[in-house]
Chain A
Amino acid sequence: MNEQNGDEHQKEDRRWFLASGLIVAGVLAFSLTVGLVILPIAQAPNAGIDAWTAICRAMGLSPGTPAQPQPPSNARAAPVSQVRWTPKTLRTLAVADPRPGAALAEAVCSSCHGEQGMTISDDFPRLAGQSPQAIYKQLSDYKTGARYHPQMTPVAQQLTTDQLAEVAAYFGGLHEDIALGQAQVLAEDDMARLILRGDPARRLPPCESCHARGAGGPPEAPVIAGQNAAYLARQLHAYKAGARRNDVYRRMRDIAGKLSDDEITRLSETYQGTY
C-alpha cells in the first residue's frame, strides 16, 4: 500500500515538475518570439527597413526602433569649450603636484591675482580656494581661445596642460579663513530666495544648486562665495550679452539672461560678502 502510494506520489511530483517547467518554458518562448521576432517584423514596413534590420533594432544591436525610420543628421561641430571631463583629465587634476603650481603662481599669477591668490583689486578675480576643476577649465579655455582676455590668453598659451593642472591644484588647496567659499553667504530676503530657492516662475534654479560646495552640479562650477563683486557682475553681464560664451550648453548665459541688472549687482555684492 505504501509502495503504491510512493509510486503515485512520485508520479504526481513528476507531473507537477514537468507541467511547471513546460508552462514557464512556453511563456518564455512566447515572450521572446513575439518581442524579438514577430513584432519587429510586423513593424518593419512602417520604418521602411527589412526584417533583419528590424530584429537587430528590437534586440538593441542597432539604434532606433523597428517601427520608425531613424532621422538623419548633418551638422558641423562648433564647440564652445574643448575641455572634456574624461577619467584621464580628472585623474591628472587629482594627482597634480601643487608645489610647482605654487612656484608658477608666485612667478606669474600673483602680480595680478595677489599673494596666494587673494587680491583686493576689483579688476581681478580671487583664486585662493577656487575649485581646481573651475581653474583648470578657464585656463584651458583661455589656451584654446574659447575664452579671450588680453592678459590671460597669452599667459595660458605659454603653459602646458600639466602646468595648468598644477596651478589649479595649488589654488584649490588654499583653505585659509579668507579664501573663497570659506565664509557663510549672508543674504537678505529676496536675494536669499534667489540664492537658496531660485525662482520657479522664471525657471531659475538656486545659485547654490551648482555653486555650493558638494552641490553635485557641473564639475567646472566655480566657488563664488567671497569672490569680488565687480568681477562677478562683469561676468554675469558678459554672459547676459553673449560676449562670454565658454559655458557649455549656455548654462550661465541662460541664467544671466533672466536676471535684471539690479539683481546682478545685488547678487554679486551678496556673494562678495564682507571682504
Chain B
Amino acid sequence: MTGVREEDVVRSELRWGLVTIAAVSVIMIAIIFAGVAMHINPPSNIERVNPQDLHLSAEFTEANLGTRVEANGQITSRIVATQFAFVPRCVVLPADTPVTMRFSSPDVIHGILVSGTNVNTMVVPGYVAQVHTVFRKTGDLLMPCHEFCGLGHSEMLATVRVVPKADFKPGPDGRVACANQ
C-alpha cells in the first residue's frame, strides 16, 4: 500500500550509506595525500609571546621587521599587526622560493590573507602566527586585515611585493625593503 517493501527500504538505505561513506573517504584520502605529498598543513605554530612584551622583544623589535635572509639562507618576513596598521606596510619577497611569514599582535585579534594566494592566518595576541609558502605570481599583492579588530579595521591593509628571484637583492645585513617606503 505504501509502495515499497521494508526490506527494499533497508537495502537502499544501506547502499546509500556505503555511497556516503565512500564519498567522505575520498575527501579524507585527498586531504591526507595533500598532507603527505605536498606537506600541506594548516598554519599552526604554538610559539607563545606576551603581547605586552612584543615591542620589547628581540625578534619583533621595530628594526627587525620586514624581510630578511637569515644566515642559513631561509627567507623570513616578520610583520606586526596592530591597531590599525601592519608594520611594515610593505614587504618584498621573491617568487618561486620557499619563504616564511611570521606575524604577531601586541593588542587584539587580527588576521591576514594575501589575495590571489592561499596564505591565510589569524594573528592572535600571545602567539607568533607563521605561514610557509611559495609565491608563484609576481606583482603587488593586497594583504588586508581580515578579522574585526576595532573601528579602524576597514583601513588596515599592507602590500606584499613579489619580485622575480633575480630582482630580490638583500643588503649586507640580509634585509630587503620596499623601495618607496
* Among B45, B62, B102, contact of A249 (Cβ-Cβ < 8 Å): B62
Q: How far is the CA of A205 from the CA of B157 in the complex (A)?
A: 10
- Chain A interface secondary structure, helix, strand, loop or mixed? loop
- Alpha-carbon distance A80/B61, docked complex (angstroms): 9
Restricting to A165-217, which residues have a CB under 8 Å from any CB of B?
A: 198-200, 203-206, 208-210, 212, 215-217
- Report the count of interface residues on B (CB-CB < 8 A): 50
Q: Which of B15-57 contact A (CB under 8 A)?
A: 32, 35-36, 39-41, 43-47, 52-53, 55-57
Assess the B35–A42 pair: CB atoms within 8 A.
yes
List of B residues within 8 angstroms of A134 by Cβ: none
Q: Does A274 contact B (CB under 8 A)?
A: no
User: In the complex, A4 Cα to B58 Cα: how many Å?
Assistant: 77
The complex places the Cα of A248 from the Cα of B85 at a distance, in Å, of 12
Among A233-252, those with CB < 8 Å from B are 248-251
CB distance from A252 to the nearest CB of B (A): 10
A-side contacts of B150, CB under 8 Å: 209, 215-217
B74 within 8 A of A: yes
Instruction: Report yes or no: B32 in contact with A69, Cβ–Cβ below 8 A.
Output: no
Indicate if the CB atoms of A210 and B152 lie closer than 8 Å: yes
A161 to B1, CA, bound (A): 88
Known: A39-B36, A215-B151. A71 touches B83 (CB 8 A): no
- Is A18 interfacial (CB-CB < 8 Å)? no
CB-based contact B55/A60 at 8 Å:
no
Contact A250 B85 (CB under 8 A): yes
Which of these binds chain A: B3-11, B64-72, B111-119, B162-170? Answer: B64-72
Tell whether A130 is near chain B: CB-to-CB under 8 Å. no
Q: How far is the CA of A158 from the CA of B107 in the complex (A)?
A: 31
| Seed contacts A68-B39, A73-B70, A206-B152; 7 additional CB < 8 Å A-B pairs | A65-B130, A67-B40, A68-B100, A75-B63, A77-B61, A84-B52, A254-B87
Interface residue ranges, B against A (CB under 8 Å): 32, 35-36, 39-41, 43-47, 52-53, 55-59, 61-64, 70-72, 74, 76, 80, 82-85, 87, 89, 98, 100, 102, 106-108, 128, 130, 132, 150-152, 154-157
Residue pairs across A and B with Cβ atoms less than 8 A apart, 20 shown, are A39-B36, A43-B41, A46-B39, A63-B47, A67-B39, A67-B40, A72-B72, A73-B59, A73-B70, A74-B71, A75-B59, A77-B58, A84-B52, A84-B56, A203-B156, A205-B85, A215-B150, A217-B152, A248-B106, A251-B83
